[in-house]
Homo-oligomer: A and B are copies of this chain.
């Protein structure tokens, strides 16, 4: 019987300059739908899981488009609320060579950011759900969003729903409203069963730094010590030789073991946005499928790498196409 997943977070529209141009170098913008949690939802739906999103989105043509794109990819949007307010946007200038990509956020005062924490009926929203996915972007958007995320996580925890939390620390967003990131993120970690976080994410929550080669391992241990419900901590490591050429590896820690997926070279990257979300979705796919941690991690890294080959924020590839990359990859044309 299939597991059911709920992802809670803000939907965003990406308005991007085409073809490696500077933003508005030519007068057109390519539109993609994104948002960390939506990206996870789409990938999990593509992998075959029954996936829904919760949240609030603008009650206008932009918000309806965003919801429609999720449905197109098989995500259930019936729990999504359309409410007055603007749509969160981000403008993207995709970099190349030594020119980094630039994101210009225009998401303040969105329908999601405006939504009251009390507007969400979590017992109803979580009804029948096996796994709740949240990220650190949501609490960073403001006090109400933070409270909503905490309410969701607590309600899930109480009902025995697996809670997955992806750190996704965004300093600028926290600074904008002077939010108490350590405390609020700590509440979410306290509810989480699985965390996607590296040592920097954990350092913020625990208020101490982790250095050296083994920093992620020691940070994970500290997190396990601090948060009794936490089973697993996973993250990627990225080495960037240029904007277009990276190496990506991954690791997953449990209370008992450590797993490593060795680095993959990513040359001529098409679009790296959403790579971390695809990784998270890949690891969750393994766990939802009852796979062992090593296989889940390997699938997660493959998914994360594949995302770099697809334009847009979503990895909408079925599980078989990801699985084909695990082990001995074949690069020939498939006819």
Chain A positions within 8 Å of B, measured between CB atoms, are 15, 19-32, 60-62, 65, 68-69, 71-74, 86-87, 89, 91, 93, 95-106, 108-109, 170, 172, 240-245, 264-270, 272-273, 302, 305-306, 308-312, 316-317, 321, 324-325, 329-335
Q: Which single residue of chain B is at the shortest CB-CB distance from A171?
A: B335
A242 & B267 in contact (Cβ 8 Å cutoff): yes
Which of B27, B60, B265, B309 interacts with A243 by CB under 8 Å?
B309
Q: Can you tell how many copies of this chain the complex includes?
A: 6
The 6 closest A-B pairs by CB, nearest first: A72-B72, A96-B309, A97-B309, A99-B309, A240-B331, A24-B65
Q: Which single residue of chain B is at the shortest CB-CB distance from A331?
A: B240
Q: A22-B310, A68-B72, A101-B333 are in contact. List 17 more A-B contacts (CB 8 A).
A: A19-B19, A19-B311, A25-B310, A25-B312, A27-B31, A60-B104, A68-B73, A95-B309, A96-B309, A97-B269, A98-B264, A98-B306, A99-B310, A242-B331, A243-B331, A268-B268, A272-B333
A332 & B28 in contact (Cβ 8 Å cutoff): no
Q: Which chain B residues border A272 with CB–CB below 8 Å?
A: 333
B28 & A62 in contact (Cβ 8 Å cutoff): no
Which of B74, B91, B266 interacts with A97 by CB under 8 Å?
B266
A321-B93 Cα distance, complex, nearest whole Å = 13
Shortest distance from the beta carbon of A88 to any chain B beta carbon, whole Å: 11
| Max chain B Cβ within 10 angstroms of own Cβ: one of A73, A264, A332 | A332
A99-B99 Cα distance, complex, nearest whole Å = 25
Q: Which chain B residues border A19 with CB–CB below 8 Å?
A: 19, 311
Q: Which chain B residues border A312 with CB–CB below 8 Å?
A: 25
A23-B66 Cα distance, complex, nearest whole Å = 12
A23-B311 Cα distance, complex, nearest whole Å = 12
Which of B309, B324, B329 interacts with A20 by CB under 8 Å?
B309
Q: Which single residue of chain B is at the shortest CB-CB distance from A33?
A: B27
Q: Which chain B residues border A60 with CB–CB below 8 Å?
A: 104
B28 & A30 in contact (Cβ 8 Å cutoff): yes
A172-B334 Cα distance, complex, nearest whole Å = 11
A99 & B306 in contact (Cβ 8 Å cutoff): yes
Q: Which chain B residues border A26 with CB–CB below 8 Å?
A: 26-28
A98 & B333 in contact (Cβ 8 Å cutoff): no
